[in-house]
Amino acid sequence: MLKLKKIKATEWNGNGFGETSADWCIKGQEHIHVFKLGMAWVAKDTSNDRLICKAYSRSDLIEVLEAKVPFSEEAA
């Protein structure tokens, strides 16, 4: 199972502007960032600036990432 580590907290943007969601990375593979972009959640490999996958909820994105990204049990 993939574990996420928070790299940026949720930010309040002021009255009328709402808030910006937190940014995450995969524990043990910190080059893979998970963040919300518009209405979708996105996983991006920052080492080569490529999109890995996207989904409409963070839990769905994690399920897709578990199938696509190899990880070690020691990192979890």
Q: Give the tens place of pLDDT for each residue, 3-59.
A: 999 999 989 988 888 888 899 999 989 999 999 998 999 999 999 999 999 999 999
- What's the domain range around 53? 4-9+19-68
Sign of CA dihedral 5, 10, 69, 61: positive
- Asked if residue 23 is part of any domain, the answer here is yes
Q: Which residues contact 36 (CB under 8 A, 6 or more apart)?
A: 21, 42, 58
**Is a pLDDT exceeding 90 seen at residue 73?**
no
- Asked if residue 56 is part of any domain, the answer here is yes
- Asked if residue 75 is part of any domain, the answer here is no
- Asked if residue 74 is part of any domain, the answer here is no
Q: Which residues contact 55 (CB under 8 A, 6 or more apart)?
A: 40, 41, 61, 63, 64
Question: Are 2 and 26 within 8 A, CB to CB?
Answer: yes
**Is a pLDDT exceeding 60 seen at residue 65?**
yes
Closest CA to 1 of 30, 26, 20, 25: 26
Tokens matching residue 10: 């949720």
Query: Number of folded domains in the chain?
Result: 1
